[in-house]
């Protein structure tokens, strides 16, 4: 169990640029989740995958956001035409499918849009 | 929609004190409840996971209880240490498999 890995740890980008984040879940976890956390708030759900299928998307996930999980392994979260309001910590978590399992989170990617 | 509330928002205690953090949720139809710790600028570290059928879980100096019918959980920290200073978040897992998080309690343990 090597934990959930996220890359990069920090990203500073200019408004209007595209950014992509990567998450590598725990290998035996077939569910992968993306959350966003702003300062002083709890994490908010964005989307989740079971294997390669994206099963749910939050209304927070605007058309500028897209997530993929090819082959059911790692996942990428892309934000196009970034805005200052996208500045946040983006957290990835993985879990086994059954409801009684908990989540394991990665260390997050801190995005700053200037 | 599930709403999770944590009280207090911030807490400052002298080293060695025992303390209780509170978490309440509005919908009792949960799979489980998980307590996390978050250090500034970092990700979340899982502390304790309580299934909906359980009443409490213990790990070292930490004890978490769950009263599903009343929508409440507590995290008890015994003999607090400065290294316990962090933000503590509770999250409930609901059918449909999302977690809903509270806004956290920021704990400072003063040496």
3-state secondary structure labels for all residues of A69-89:
CHHHCCEEEEECCCCHHHCEE
Per-residue confidence (pLDDT) for residue A40, from 0 to 100: 87
Q: How far is B49 from chain A (nearest CA, A)?
A: 7
d(CA A102, CA B31): 10
Examine the pLDDT at B53 and tell me if it is beyond 70: yes
Task: Measure CB to CB from residue A42 to each of B43, B49, B89 and give the nearest one.
Answer: B89
Tens-place pLDDT, residues A61-108? 889 999 999 988 999 999 999 999 999 999 999 988 776 678 899 999
**Bridging pattern class, strands A109-113 and B10-14:** unpaired
d(CA A42, CA B19): 21
Which residue, A108, A87, A93, A103, is CA-closest to A38? Answer: A87
Residues 6+ apart with CB under 8 A from A66: A77, A78, A80
Which residue, B90, B28, B27, is CA-closest to B53? Answer: B28
| Residues in A lying within 8 Å of B, measured between beta carbons | 6, 31, 33, 40-45, 48, 56, 89, 91, 93, 99-100, 102-108, 110
Band the pLDDT of B48: cuts 50, 70, 90. very high
Tens-place pLDDT, residues A17-67? 999 999 999 988 999 999 999 988 999 999 999 999 999 898 888 899 999
d(CA B97, CA B94): 5
Between chains, do A102 and B32 touch, taking CB under 8 Å as contact?
Answer: yes
């Amino acid at each position: 169990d090597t934990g959930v890995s996220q890359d990069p740890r920090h990203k500073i980008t200019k408004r209007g640029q595209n950014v992509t984040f990567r998450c590598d879940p725990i290998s035996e976890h077939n569910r992968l989740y993306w959350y966003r956390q702003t300062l002083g708030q709890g994490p908010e759900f964005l989307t989740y995958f079971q294997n390669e299928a994206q099963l749910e998307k939050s209304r927070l996930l605007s058309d500028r956001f897209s997530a993929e999980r090819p082959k059911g392994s790692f996942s990428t979260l892309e934000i196009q035409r970034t805005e200052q309001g996208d500045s946040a910590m983006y957290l990835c978590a993985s879990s086994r499918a059954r409801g009684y399992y908990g989540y394991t989170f990665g260390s997050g990617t801190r995005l700053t849009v200037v | 929609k599930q709403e999770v509330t944590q009280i207090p928002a911030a807490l400052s205690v002298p080293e060695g004190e025992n303390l209780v953090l509170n978490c309440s949720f509005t919908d009792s139809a949960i799979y489980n409840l998980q307590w996390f710790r978050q250090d500034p600028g970092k990700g979340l570290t899982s502390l304790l996971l309580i299934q909906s059928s359980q009443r409490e879980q213990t790990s070292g100096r930490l004890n978490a209880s769950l009263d599903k019918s009343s929508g409440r959980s507590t995290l008890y920290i015994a003999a607090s240490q400065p290294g316990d200073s962090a933000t503590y978040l509770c999250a409930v897992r609901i059918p449909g498999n999302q977690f809903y998080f509270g806004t956290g309690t920021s704990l400072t343990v003063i040496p």
